[in-house]
Amino acid sequence: MRENLVLIGNGMAGVRTLEELLKHGSDLYNITVIGAEPHPNYNRIMLSPVLASEKTINDIILNSHEWYAQNNIELITGDAVTEISRVKKAVFTESGKEIPYDRLLLATGSNPFIIPVPGAEKDGVIGFRDIHDVETMLAAAREYKNAVVIGGGLLGLEAANGLMKQGMNVTVVHLLDSLMERQLDKPASAMLKASLEQKGLTFMMEAQTAEISGDKRVTGVKFADGSEIEADLVVMAVGIRPNIELAQKAGIYCERGIVVNDTMQTYDPRIYAVGECVQHRNECYGLVAPLFEQGRVAANHLAQVGSTRYEGSVTSTKLKVTGIDLFSAGEFNEEEGDEAMVLQDPASGTYKKLVIRDNKIKGAVLYGDTMDGTWYFQLMREGTNIADFRRTIMFGQHDLGDAGHGDAQVLALPDSAEICGCNGVCKGDIVNAISKKALFTLEDVRSHTKASSSCGSCTGLVEALLASTVGEGYDEKPSKKPMCACTEHSHDDVIKAIKQHELKTMPAVREFMEWKTPDGCAACRPALNYYLLANWPEEYKDDAQSRFINERAHGNIQKDGTYSVVPRMFGGLCTANDLRVIADVSDKYNVPEMKVTGGQRVDLFGVKKEDLPAMWKDLSDAGFVSGHAYGKAMRTVKTCAGKTWCRFGTQNSTGLGVKLEELTWGSWMPHKFKLAVSGCPRNCAEATIKDFGVVCVDSGYELHVGGNGGIKVRVTDLLCKVETEEEVLEYCGAFTQKYREEAHYLERTAPWVERVGLSTIKECVVDNEEERQALYQRFKLGQMYAQIDPWKARAEGEASYEFTPLKIAG
């Protein structure tokens, strides 16, 4: 027998919860939705662009009537609920309907606050809340000339901008001396005011409204100081109040909002509440972002799956006024003991301020260039220690790509500008998909447009577009990002559980951590396989079917389905005989193309999969092992000419390169891992853009970590300087093992070092000898199992089914 679930409030929060519930495929409920407005669910945060004629009402509908019908949801619009009877377990509507419920979801939103001054009830005095208000404003703009907006906050300024675009003379009246004082510090506020004035808005600051004058319809606004201005339309945008009237009447416990616990239940366990009507842990949210997480939690609870809890949200804001780029989050006015970093360029109209306390970001205000807003916001929410990159933090994110998509000033770009260089996706495509298909998350945008779904270097740009298109409704990636759609748990949760609870097989991990799918997906299986392998090298048996094809077939799949073969040449050294063998093998298997790789090896392209084992046998017989050029693994050690030949060389750099490669080859890693050794600071082996680089100097060896030369060149950080080759090997093994044990799968050392902080790594690998040696020992233990040449094994018949096609005779 299905239960009745009734949703009061056909808005974003409530319907989002239903969408999450439907995702569970739950058929526990007959669902009825009751909305006071005559429309299906629309995107309320897009009302400003509608008012500014940048979008139409149809553009902002999120769920059409068909959506309700397809999902068997009964939709009642234009009929307000007047009473909830908890005794009868039913709700009553204005038109006299009685609808029984077993579970009730309240999503009644909020009401604009109307200042209680004389005349506030006159015609032409409205709030800015729903489609009806927008229609009233558009109608007024056709007939009248003068508009007054009371309130210089986010909503007020968006209303003022829209009315001005409709041709009205708009005056913004603000009680305080600076605009958006809850989001902006004084300098940013002054810049905003100046640019809005330039656009044509008039401001009256520190003005207290005393009375709305006029007969039936408003004709003016009078102030406390006795002055008066003309007004044909007054928009009150001074704030919102949670709409708790119904709940209060029904005796549900309310304070400022309807009080809910961490599973979004009210004091009546049959009744849930989400969105702006809610008060959770003493917070009421007036923004849309928190409702995504609230909706997920309420839906999980309603579907009786999982035990997720809502723990509150940290919010950020963006102003949706075209041409004005503004971002704000957290505490942006410094208090005693805080530090403020400010970067201001009046000529280009940019202003950036970060408030720092104990090396953590407490707040940020960005004006003119908000590109890095999402990054600062993430650092803030995750409480990242920024000590290691304080010097460069104002210039934005290190590993945010600049290859393949031109200028980073994304909002100023034309629609035709290519954002994702991998998949050829332009700005216009992304913005259209976001608004037409009502996308709210980075994942949504990736799956619909493919932008940033390959190398990911344009992720920051796509996020910036998402944030500017949907404003504060953008569902930022939660600070604890689930590993994939199969689980609620993050990479860190999984890594921790594997160690702590000694989970040693994939089914054990999935069962213990309540995976939603029986055998995972293409994203989590390789990750779990790696984590288990890295943690239990002696016991865990590698699962070939959980490896990406390159690692399963031990070659790089090319776009035509052939493979490439890269034999290992330790330290890049080779002999004439080595090259002769490679040449012979190429002839024998008709290799169509050979080239030298960036890591100083020879790449043989275009090999048929079924030829691989035989080819490997020939190479293996001549002493070659796999180059692992295909894997999330240790790749190559690049070396320079070295002391034997080079007049500048110090130390035996090439020999050290060979030793390092002998130590590390065969090791599986969270991502590809490259090394280099240069014989002098001229650094011909480019060691300072490698995951682990050694620069030999006369007095010893400099060890550099966390560099890469890919999407965004990141120069290494200096780990330390050591005196002997033995130390180089030990530090290298220890650093590598720390990365292997703690980084997220598919996270290279560059972002890993930035995420955990160089000082944390130094404490462990440099300062703590015992820890270093333990890491080194664990690395060597793992290598005992990893340094079995996969090519030789397959040449001898292992996994032959992988390479042998079935043939139908006849």
The number of C-alpha atoms within 13 Å of 475 and in the hemisphere containing its C-beta is 19
Stretch that binds another protein, among 57-65, 325-333, 340-348, 799-807 (CB under 8 A): 799-807
Per-residue interface string for the shown chain with another protein, residues 730-759, x marking contact by CB under 8 A: ------------------------------
- Judge whether 57 and 50 are in contact, CB under 8 Å: yes
- Judge whether 772 and 761 are in contact, CB under 8 Å: no
The residues, ordered by sequence, that sit 6+ positions from 527 with a Cβ below 8 Å of its Cβ are: 483, 484, 491, 494, 744, 745, 746
Which parts of 126-229 fold into alpha helices (H)? 131-143, 154-165, 186-199
At closest approach, how far in Å is the CB of 82 from another protein?
41
Comparing CB distances to another protein, the nearer of 39 and 516 is 516
Residue from 142, 216, 647, 801 touching another protein (CB under 8 A): that is 801
At closest approach, how far in Å is the CB of 267 from another protein?
40
At closest approach, how far in Å is the CB of 617 from another protein?
17
Comparing CB distances to another protein, the nearer of 549 and 573 is 549
At closest approach, how far in Å is the CB of 561 from another protein?
5
Round to whole Å and give the CA distance between 740 and 252. 52
**Sign of torsion, CA 19 20 26 31?**
negative
Comparing CB distances to another protein, the nearer of 724 and 804 is 804
Residue from 87, 347, 522, 576 touching another protein (CB under 8 A): that is 522
Site for another protein, residues 601 to 640, rule: CB under 8 A:
610
At closest approach, how far in Å is the CB of 23 from another protein?
13
At closest approach, how far in Å is the CB of 519 from another protein?
5
Residue from 225, 345, 519, 726 touching another protein (CB under 8 A): that is 519
Q: Tell me the one-letter amino acid at 314.
A: V
Site for another protein, residues 150 to 209, rule: CB under 8 A:
none
- 70 lines the binding site for another protein (CB under 8 A): no
At closest approach, how far in Å is the CB of 548 from another protein?
7
At closest approach, how far in Å is the CB of 448 from another protein?
5
Round to whole Å and give the CA distance between 611 and 604. 13
Round to whole Å and give the CA distance between 29 and 304. 12
* Strand 73-76, strand 29-34: pairing: parallel
- Judge whether 679 and 688 are in contact, CB under 8 Å: no
Stretch that binds another protein, among 143-151, 521-529, 748-756, 763-771 (CB under 8 A): 521-529
At closest approach, how far in Å is the CB of 268 from another protein?
39
In the three-class reduction of DSSP (H, G, I as helix; E, B as strand; rest coil), residue 667 is classed as coil
Comparing CB distances to another protein, the nearer of 126 and 484 is 484
Round to whole Å and give the CA distance between 411 and 407. 10
Comparing CB distances to another protein, the nearer of 241 and 609 is 609
DSSP state at residue 789: -
- 559 lines the binding site for another protein (CB under 8 A): yes
Round to whole Å and give the CA distance between 385 and 413. 33
Read off the tokens for 804: 């042998």
How many other β-carbons are positioned within 10 Å of the β-carbon of residue 116?
7
Round to whole Å and give the CA distance between 718 and 705. 6
**Sign of torsion, CA 114 115 121 122?**
negative
Site for another protein, residues 534 to 553, rule: CB under 8 A:
544-546, 548-550, 552-553
Comparing CB distances to another protein, the nearer of 72 and 800 is 800
- 526 lines the binding site for another protein (CB under 8 A): yes
At closest approach, how far in Å is the CB of 394 from another protein?
36
Angle, alpha carbons 434-439-440 (nearest 5°): 115
Q: Which helix (H) or strand (E) holds 470?
A: helix 459-470
At closest approach, how far in Å is the CB of 532 from another protein?
16
Comparing CB distances to another protein, the nearer of 179 and 527 is 527
- 557 lines the binding site for another protein (CB under 8 A): yes
At closest approach, how far in Å is the CB of 540 from another protein?
17
**Sign of torsion, CA 566 571 572 577?**
negative
The residues, ordered by sequence, that sit 6+ positions from 675 with a Cβ below 8 Å of its Cβ are: 634, 636, 637, 638, 657, 660, 661, 664, 690, 691, 692, 693, 694, 732
Number of residues that bind another protein (CB under 8 A): 33
Comparing CB distances to another protein, the nearer of 553 and 663 is 553
Read off the tokens for 742: 């703690």
Residue from 1, 87, 347, 806 touching another protein (CB under 8 A): that is 806
In the three-class reduction of DSSP (H, G, I as helix; E, B as strand; rest coil), residue 111 is classed as strand
Per-residue interface string for the shown chain with another protein, residues 479-518, x marking contact by CB under 8 A: --------------------------------------xx
Comparing CB distances to another protein, the nearer of 515 and 701 is 515
At closest approach, how far in Å is the CB of 518 from another protein?
6
Site for another protein, residues 286 to 345, rule: CB under 8 A:
none
At closest approach, how far in Å is the CB of 801 from another protein?
6
- Judge whether 41 and 34 are in contact, CB under 8 Å: no
At closest approach, how far in Å is the CB of 92 from another protein?
41
Comparing CB distances to another protein, the nearer of 473 and 520 is 520
At closest approach, how far in Å is the CB of 507 from another protein?
10
- Judge whether 289 and 474 are in contact, CB under 8 Å: yes
At closest approach, how far in Å is the CB of 316 from another protein?
27
Site for another protein, residues 777 to 796, rule: CB under 8 A:
none
Comparing CB distances to another protein, the nearer of 797 and 801 is 801
Site for another protein, residues 401 to 460, rule: CB under 8 A:
447-448, 450, 453-454
- 797 lines the binding site for another protein (CB under 8 A): no
Comparing CB distances to another protein, the nearer of 616 and 739 is 616
* Strand 316-318, strand 326-330: pairing: antiparallel
Comparing CB distances to another protein, the nearer of 126 and 483 is 483
Round to whole Å and give the CA distance between 720 and 731. 9
Comparing CB distances to another protein, the nearer of 563 and 739 is 563
Comparing CB distances to another protein, the nearer of 647 and 807 is 807
At closest approach, how far in Å is the CB of 522 from another protein?
3
| Sheet order of strands, 103-106 included | 73-76, 29-34, 3-8, 103-106, 271-273
Comparing CB distances to another protein, the nearer of 391 and 807 is 807
Give the CA distances from residue 802 to residues 82, 612, 628, 808, in Å, rounded to whole numbers and listed in that order: 67, 10, 18, 17
Round to whole Å and give the CA distance between 103 and 31. 10
The number of C-alpha atoms within 13 Å of 613 and in the hemisphere containing its C-beta is 14
- Judge whether 279 and 257 are in contact, CB under 8 Å: yes
Comparing CB distances to another protein, the nearer of 453 and 468 is 453
Comparing CB distances to another protein, the nearer of 510 and 635 is 510
Residue from 152, 401, 520, 599 touching another protein (CB under 8 A): that is 520
**Sign of torsion, CA 508 509 510 513?**
positive
The binding site for another protein (CB under 8 A) comprises 447-448, 450, 453-454, 517-522, 525-526, 544-546, 548-550, 552-553, 557, 559, 561, 610, 801, 804-810
